[in-house]
Amino acid sequence: MKRISWLAFPTLSLSVWASPAKRATWNPPSNLVQPLTQVWNHEVATYNMNFKNFGYDQLIAAKGTAKVCVRWESTTQTVTEAQRAQVQTAIQRSYKKWIDWFVGFDGFPYSSVPLSVVGWAVSNPSLLQGSTSGIDVYTNRDSGGIPECNPACGRFFHQDNNYSGCPGGAARHYDFSVWLTPGFGGGAGGDWGARIGTEYFMSNLNTENIHILLHELGHYFALDDFYDWTPTGVTNFIMLAGSATQITDFDGWMARDWWRHLKSRYGIAKEGANSLEIEGSQAANLTWVDQEF
Ligand SMILES: *[C@@H]1O[C@H](CO)[C@@H](O)[C@H](O)[C@H]1NC(C)=O
Ligand SMILES: *[C@@H]1O[C@H](CO)[C@@H](O)[C@H](O)[C@H]1NC(C)=O
Ligand SMILES: [Zn+2]
């Protein structure tokens, strides 16, 4: 399998990544039509698109909101209250850069998707300095002993939205996790959330485009990697790891294409239709792993 080296790609001029044009229907720039068709065909040939826990499924189930739980894997590093606020702002900013492509497009039923960090998982609550009021502090561990947010409250583990085992019930559930691992190079992303390096993220909290997080959130919205092939005529975009540091028009139109193809499962065939309940499949998950950027 051929790996694409990011060193091979020079940075393009800023004009390539205009903010999302508010086009109400499928009408991508003509130069993107062929590569978009190639990418969608490759996606349906590669993945089971009947999967019911894509980011789209989650935000519809949560009625246009997104709740995040942070997994803080470091056992020694403390986090101040101010840093936690910055973490939330950084995740909000990054998530919104994808959502902006959906708002106003092809029956997307929300004008915004407000995101909040509702919980933190830590090895020891003393790592969280200052007040933790308003968030759930979890000390659960996954099978590998790594702090995780209470599975009983997590959408990944309860795709039927039954949070009866969650101490705070559905109101205190979380939709996905942002998992911060010390010394972690590259990233991983999928329907369960995003995993990136603690140092990378914490030193980029005020960076406008936290590009590895943007890429992993692309996976949350079921966008694919491009380590083994590239579509015709597009060489710089966030899902081609290392080739872009911002969500480009091509990335945005890919995401719109996924929405366009998946929206019928929400009963959004035409404008104004009601959404449907989504039946989940508990065992499945979709994960992409990135070695480098
Ligand atoms: C929700 O899950 C609990 C177990 O956690 C189960 O006892 C209950 O029957 C479930 N409710 C529904 C409506 O499926
Ligand atoms: C997803 O499934 C794979 C294979 O079954 C497993 O190795 C992986 O740990 C799972 N990921 C999560 C986040 O549960
Ligand atoms: Zn990737």
CA-to-CA dists, residue 275 to 26, 180, 265, angstroms: 20, 34, 8
- The domain ranges of the chain are 32-290
Q: Which ligand is nearest to the Cα of residue 179, counting in written order?
A: 2
50 C-beta closer than 6 A to ligand 1? no
The single-letter code of the amino acid at 268 is I
When pLDDT is averaged across residues 8-16 and rounded to a whole number, the result is 37
For a pocket test of ligand 1, which of 162, 163, 282 has the largest count of ligand atoms closer than 8 A to its C-beta?
162
45, 152 contact by CB (below 8 A): no
pLDDT tens digit sequence for 249-271: 999 999 999 999 999 999 886 44
Rounded Cα gap, residues 151 and 143, in angstroms: 12
* Local confidence band at 16 (pLDDT 50, 70, 90 cut-offs): very low
Give the other-Cβ count within 10 Å of 285's Cβ: 14
When pLDDT is averaged across residues 105-117 and rounded to a whole number, the result is 96
Mean pLDDT in the chain? 89
**For residue 174, pLDDT beyond 70:** yes
CA of 128 to the centre of ligand 2 (A): 28
162 C-beta closer than 6 A to ligand 1? yes
DSSP single-letter state for residue 283: S
282 C-beta closer than 6 A to ligand 2? no
Query: What is the DSSP pairing of strand 193-197 with strand 187-190?
Result: antiparallel
Q: Which is nearest to 69 in space by CA: 184, 160, 4, 163?
A: 163
- What pTM value is reported for the model? 0.88
Q: Which ligand is nearest to the Cα of residue 282, counting in written order?
A: 2
For ligand 2, atom 6: residue with the closest CA: 285
The tokens describing 183, both together, are 């010394």
Higher-pLDDT residue of 14, 1: 14
When pLDDT is averaged across residues 144-153 and rounded to a whole number, the result is 98
Rounded Cα gap, residues 173 and 168, in angstroms: 8
pLDDT tens digit sequence for 120-136: 999 999 999 999 999 99
287 C-beta closer than 6 A to ligand 2? yes
Query: ∠ CA(234), CA(236), CA(237), 5° rounding?
Result: 95
Higher-pLDDT residue of 14, 219: 219
CA of 215 to the centre of ligand 3 (A): 6
Specify the pLDDT at position 57. 96
181, 195 contact by CB (below 8 A): yes
